[in-house]
Chain A
C-alpha cells in the first residue's frame, strides 16, 4: 500500500506536468489562431467528432512552406553539433588531466569545475557580451599585443554562439568523462605499455574506449539542450544567427502565434526523440551497472 503511494505520487506529478502538457501542445499545434486571448481556438469543446473534423495540419504546411523554419532547424542542428564537438575537444583533455592529477588535488579541481555550473547561466552568458564586442576586452587585448590592427567582429556571429555554448556547457561534458576515467584501472594501460604499445596508441586503444559511456553522456548533455537554446543565440548571436529556440520564443511572444509556436515545438521534439531515447538508455545502463 505504502509502496503504491510512493510510486503513484511522483508518477502522477510527472504525468500531469510533464507528459500531458506535450499532448496539449500537440493539440494546439493542430488548431487555428484566434484573436481573442488565449490566441487559439479551443478545439475540444464540442465533442470528439467535431474536434477531429476540425483538426488540420495547416500550421505544419505553413512551416514546411516557409524557408525560415527549415533554415532554423538545420542551422540549430549544425550549431549544436559543432559546439558539442568543440566542447568535447576542450573538455576531454581537462577531464583526463583531472583523472591523472594527484588524489589530494582532485576534490579541489572538481569543485573548480562545478562552481561555474552553480553560477547563474544568464550571467555567465552575459559576461561574454562585454568580452566579445568590438570595443570589448578580447579586442582590446589583441590590439594591445599587436596581433590585429582593427577590431574583429565576433559578437553577433555564430562564432560567439559557439564560444557561449562551449563555455556554459563545459562542466556537463567534463563531469561524466571524469567519472568514467576515474574508474579506469591504470594497470590496463601499464599492461599495454609493457606489451609494447606506445603511449598514444594505449590512449586510443584503451583509455578512449573505456571512457566511451562518459563521452556519450557528456555529448548528449551538451547537444540536446544546445539544440533548443534560446539565451545564448539571443544574447551573443544577434539577428544573423538563426536557431529554432529563438524562433519559437519570438513566434510565441512577439508574433503571438501560439499554434505555429506549438507546431515548431512538436517538430523540435520529433527531432529530439532519437537522441533522447539514446541518452535515456545510456543513463539507465549506467545506473544499473552501478547497482
Chain B
C-alpha cells in the first residue's frame, strides 16, 4: 500500500492548494497598504493598529473568550461523563435515546438548534446574554467532546481498571488514577475542540445572545456582510495564527507523549 502513484500525488497537491490558498490570500492581503482589498499597494501593518484601537471588536473578543472558556470546560466534564456512560454504562433505560441525543447535535443544522434554544429561553423567562450563550454552546460541544473521548475509551484495555479495583481502589480512585491519565489526551483535545467550536459559532450565538452580549463572530458577520475589508483580514490572520500555533503545539505534545508512553512500556517490560 505504500506507493504513491502520480494520480495520488496530484490529488493531494491540488487538494491542499485548494484548502490553503484562500487562507494564504487573506493573510498576505492583511498586510496590504491599500483599502482596496484586491489591489496590492505595498506592505503595511496599519490594519492591525486600527483593529487594536477598535473598542467594539475588543469587547466582543472578551465576551467570546469568556463564553468559550466556561462552555468548553463544562462541556468537557459533561461530555466525558456521557462518553463513559455510552462505552462503559452497559444497558440502561433510554440508552438509544441518549446516544441519539449525543450524535444528532453533531450534524443538526445550526439554525434549528439556535431557534429551539432561543424559544426555550424565552419560554422559561431566562434573560438572554452571556449565560444563555454558554448554555447553548455547552449543549452542542459536549456531544463533540463525548465522541472524541469515547473513541479513546473503546480502544483502551479495560483490565487496567479492573486490576485497580481488585487491588482495593474505590471506583472513583480507579477512574482518577487509572482511567483519567490514559484518556487525558482525548479529554484535552475534546476541550480544545469545544473551545474552538465556541469561538467560531455565529448562528447559535446570534439566536441566543440578547442585545447585551455580542460575540466576535457576530461582530465579524455584521461587517463582512458589507463586503471584504482589510481590518477583517487582519483579524482573520490573528485568528489563523493562533489556531496554527495551537494545533502544531498540540500535535507535538501528543507525539512526545506517545514516545514517552512507548519508553515507559519498554521500561516496565524490562522490569518484569
* Interface residue ranges, A against B (CB under 8 Å): 2-3, 6-7, 9-11, 13-15, 17-22, 24-25, 28, 38, 42, 90, 93-94, 96-103, 107, 109, 111-116, 118-124, 126-131, 133, 135-137, 140, 167, 170, 184, 186, 189, 220-221, 224-225, 227-231, 234-235, 245, 248-249, 252-253, 258, 261-262, 265, 268-269, 272, 276, 279-280, 283-284, 287, 290-291
13 A-B residue pairs with Cβ-Cβ distance under 8 Å, sorted by A, are A7-B85, A13-B139, A17-B136, A21-B113, A21-B116, A90-B15, A113-B19, A119-B240, A120-B240, A126-B228, A129-B227, A235-B225, A272-B109
> Chain A nearest CB: distance from B149 CB in Å?
12
Task: Determine the chain B residues whose CB is within 8 A of the CB of A265 once the complex forms.
Answer: 111-112, 115-116
B22 within 8 Å of A (CB atoms): yes
Give complex CA distance A21, B122 in Å.
11
**Min CB gap A160→B, angstroms:** 13
A272 contact set on B, CB distance < 8 A: 108-109
Q: Within 8 Å CB of A13, what residues of B? A: 78, 138-139, 142
Task: Determine if B139 and A17 form an interchain contact, defined as CB atoms under 8 angstroms apart.
Answer: yes
Q: Give 1 or 0 for each of B95-109: 1 = CB within 8 Å of chain A CB.
A: 000111111111111
Q: Is the CB of A127 within 8 A of B11?
A: no
Residues of A within 8 A of B247 (CB): 111, 114-115, 118
Residues of B within 8 A of A (CB): 1-5, 7-9, 11-12, 15-16, 18-20, 22-23, 25-26, 29, 37-38, 78-79, 81-82, 84-87, 89, 92, 94, 98-113, 115-117, 119-120, 122-123, 135-136, 138-139, 142, 146, 150-151, 154-155, 171-172, 196, 199-200, 202-203, 206-207, 217, 220-221, 224-225, 227-228, 232, 236, 239-240, 243-244, 246-248, 251, 255
CA distance A253 to B203 in the complex (A): 12
Also in contact, A120 and B200, with CB within 8 A (given A17-B117, A276-B107, A280-B99): yes
Which of B5, B108, B228 meets A130, CB within 8 Å?
B228
Contacts of A279 in B (CB 8 A): 103, 107
A42–B239 Cα distance when bound, in Å, is: 43
Q: How far is the CB of B82 from chain A (nearest CB, A)?
A: 4
> Which secondary structure dominates chain A's binding surface?
helix
Contacts of A21 in B (CB 8 A): 113, 116-117, 119-120
Inter-chain CA distance A13–B79, complex, in Å, is 11
B1 to chain A, nearest CB (A): 4
Tell me, in angstroms, the Cα distance from A38 to B3 when the chains sit together.
Answer: 62
Shortest CB–CB separation between residue B269 and chain A, in angstroms? 23
B interface, over-half SS: helix
A114 to B225 alpha-carbon distance, docked (Å): 27
- A3 to B152: give the CA distance in the assembly, Å: 20
The reply to whether A248 and B111 form a contact with Cβ atoms under 8 Å apart is: yes
A97 touches B116 (CB 8 A): no
Given A94-B12, A126-B236: A17 in contact with B2 (beta carbons within 8 A): no
Min distance, Cβ A222 to any Cβ of chain B, angstroms:
9
Determine whether the beta carbon of B78 is less than 8 Å from that of A261. no
Shortest distance in angstroms between B190's beta carbon and chain A's nearest beta carbon? 13
Most buried by B among A17, A261, A269: A17
Q: Which residues of A contact B207 (CB under 8 A)?
A: 252
Say how far A145's CB is from chain B's closest CB, in angstroms.
16
Contacts of A6 in B (CB 8 A): 81, 84-85, 89
Cα-based distance from A118 to B106 in the complex (angstroms) = 15
Which residues of the other chain, A, contact B111 by a CB distance below 8 angstroms?
228, 230, 245, 248-249, 265, 268
B2 engages A123 (CB within 8 Å):
no
